[in-house]
Every structure is written in structure tokens, then in C-alpha cells.
Amino acid sequence: MKKSGDRLIGSSGDRAKITGISGDQHAHVNRMGPMDQVLLVTRWFRDPLRILAATLREIFDENAYERFLLRTESSRSVESYRRFLLEREAGIAQKPRCC
């Protein structure tokens, strides 16, 4: 292995920085069965996917509709969604426009 400054390239410390797993945990991962390793990888991808899902819910106003339902103490229905859209459009129309 080559040395770069005071870091040993390819050491378990470097793997820990990349994967978030310490050297002791690497030994455990190597002893894990294939299904256990699949579950571990699934956990690594779960949080970013949850963030993506939450972002998409904000972009497409699903969270805003949920907040509207809580604020108005309404249930999901065609009528409540119509009121949500009217309120949202009225709020957009009142915003000052530039130029």
C-alpha cells in the first residue's frame, strides 16, 4: 500500500470514510450471509429514498393538502380538494408580481 502524507491509502479507515462502516464492522459484514448483506444495503438506500419521496410530496402539493385537511379538520374528498385548490389559487393571485 502507498502512503499519501500521513494517510495509508486502502486502509480500513478509508473504507470507513467511504462506506460509513468501521474496520470491526467490515469483519462482521464479511461473515454475514447474502440476505443480511442485502438488508444492510437496503438500509443504506432507505434514507435517501425517503428524502426523495418527501421532496416529491412537497413539489406536487401532497403535503400542502394534508396540512390543509388538518387545519380545516376536513376529510379527503372531492369537495375538500376543490376548496384546497381555490384557496391555493387565491393565495398565488395575491402575491405581488415582479415587472
Residue 26 reports pLDDT greater than 80: no
As a whole number, mean pLDDT of residues 29-35 equals 68
The answer to whether residues 15 and 26 touch, using CB atoms and an 8 Å cutoff, is yes
The span from the CA of 82 to the CA of 23, in Å, is 56
pLDDT confidence tier of residue 33, bands split at 50, 70 and 90: confident
As a whole number, mean pLDDT of residues 31-39 equals 76
Report percent pLDDT > 90 for the chain: 37
- pLDDT score for 30: 59
As a whole number, mean pLDDT of residues 34-43 equals 78
